[in-house]
Amino acid sequence: MAGLTAAALAVVGFLAYQASANVPDSLGAPKAPSPAPSAQASGSPKNESKDPLAVPAHSGTGVRVVYALGDRRVWLVGKQSTPRTFEVMPSTVNPQPGTYTVTSRSGNVPGSDGVPIEHVVRFAKVGGVSIGFSAAVNGSMASPDPNKKTGGVRMKRADGDAMWVFAAIGSKVVVVP
């Protein structure tokens, strides 16, 4: 019985991976940008708060994942009083700043760099490269090979576990500079 269950899970995982590779580009496309609140003075920091771990200003409201490209940091902003935040290792291909939604998820798959990864949460596609958060099974957060086009935003396994629980399909992801 356990063998049948394992085989069924493997087939479902493989089919989910294949389906995610064929998701139309339009599903991960950013929504039309909303008007900018007010112009900032040039030279002002990206994160206007004095606390470098505070959720970036102008990252929206409500429950969301916030990914700050320049800070290499993610915030899981929910109903709790203090959002969870952690460092990430960006991929070689990055999404444009904007608002996205989680389009697909995979439990365990090989990464585009060949490293086994888990808890993949995909939210964008850039030039045919799927962009998503993931954790390497071996726990590494090595810099990606700059000669390869990869879309995996790597995080520690504990952070990957938290992302997996937090970001279901349809969840909002806000990318800020």
Q: For residue 121, give the nearest of 73, 72, 170, 86 by alpha carbon.
A: 170
128 vs 22, 63, 75, 131, 171, CA distance in Å? 10, 28, 26, 9, 22
**pLDDT tens digits, residue range 77-132?**
997 778 999 999 999 999 999 999 999 999 999 887 788 999 999 999 999 999 99
Q: For residue 104, give the nearest of 19, 14, 165 by alpha carbon.
A: 19
Q: How confident is the model at residue 50 (pLDDT cuts 50, 70, 90)?
A: low
Q: How confident is the model at residue 56 (pLDDT cuts 50, 70, 90)?
A: very high
Name the residue ranges covered by the structural domains of the chain.
2-26+53-176
Fold classification of 2-26+53-176 (topology level): L,D-transpeptidase catalytic domain-like (2.40.440)
